[in-house]
Amino acid sequence: MTSSTDTEITLGTGKLLFLFFFLVGICSLFFALGYSLGRKSDGITTASAASAPPTSASATKPASGDSAQQAPMSFYKSVEQKDASAELTPSAADAKSDSAANAPAAAASQPATNSAEPSSTPATGGYFVQVAAVSKQDDAEALVDALKKKQYLAFVASRAPNDKLFRIQLGPFADVKDAEAQRARLISDGYNPILKK
């Protein structure tokens, strides 16, 4: 019978540290290589999409070549361009009841909020319904336009000197019930508004 001699390999602290940092270096090399290739492939797909002839698209959606050449859209501009799905649109019975319930509130607030300049608060005092507070003026204007298309009397509230947010609001409402009715209508349209005094 042959006897096998087993040998034990022991590594010192220096060799273990060298092995550890060697493996970390290899991992970081592969990470950097993958990152740079990923960045380059994103540029290649954008360039190929821009040079490819646009495919047939419906009238409501832009061609893929046009969207690749435009500047990146902000959140509210991209949401504004999408069509609402059938699940999010209220049924005809709900729309009639909402419009009947909110007609007095809209009629009462129309003279106070119908100003030519949408970027200033029309009046002080009363109750306001704040739809959103955004950091970009383009987003604020796009959201005001979208709300006006849905028959809301929206405006961008005037900012304090050190305030960096643009606040999109409806109002002022003399009665809290009118403000709550507008808030409920906004919630049914998919917004998350708050009531402010």
Q: What is the pLDDT of residues 131-164, one digit of tens each?
A: 999 999 899 999 999 999 998 989 998 878 888 8
- pLDDT score recorded for residue 187: 93
Residue 149 to residue 146: CA distance in whole angstroms: 5
- For the chain, report the end-to-end CA distance as a whole number of angstroms: 96
Q: Per residue in 44-79, pLDDT tens?
A: 655 555 555 555 444 444 444 444 455 555 666 665
The whole-model pTM stands at: 0.40
Q: Per residue in 119-129, pLDDT tens?
A: 444 556 788 99
Per the model's pLDDT, the better-predicted residue between 48 and 24 turns out to be: 24
> What mean pLDDT is reported for the chain?
73
In the 3-class helix/strand/coil scheme, how is the chain assigned residue by residue? CCCCCCCCCCCCHHHHHHHHHHHHHHHHHHHHHHHHHHHHHHHHHHHHHHHCCCCCCCCCCCCHHHHHHCCCCCHHHHHHHCCCCCCCCCCHHHHHHHHHHHHHHHHHHHHHHCCCCCCCCCCCCCEEEEEEEECCHHHHHHHHHHHHHCCCCEEECCCCCCCCCEEEEEEEECCHHHHHHHHHHHHHCCCCCEEEC
- pLDDT score recorded for residue 8: 85
Q: Provide the residue type at 140 as one letter.
A: A
The DSSP code sequence of 38-52 is HHHHHHHHHHHHHHS
- pLDDT score recorded for residue 34: 92
Q: Say if residue 104's pLDDT is above 70.
A: no
Per the model's pLDDT, the better-predicted residue between 2 and 60 turns out to be: 2
Sequence-distant contacts of 44-48: CB under 8 A, at least 24 apart: none
Per the model's pLDDT, the better-predicted residue between 151 and 95 turns out to be: 151
Q: Provide the residue type at 119 as one letter.
A: S
Closest CA to 126 of 103, 109, 146, 142: 109
Q: Say if residue 111's pLDDT is above 50.
A: no
Per the model's pLDDT, the better-predicted residue between 96 and 166 turns out to be: 166
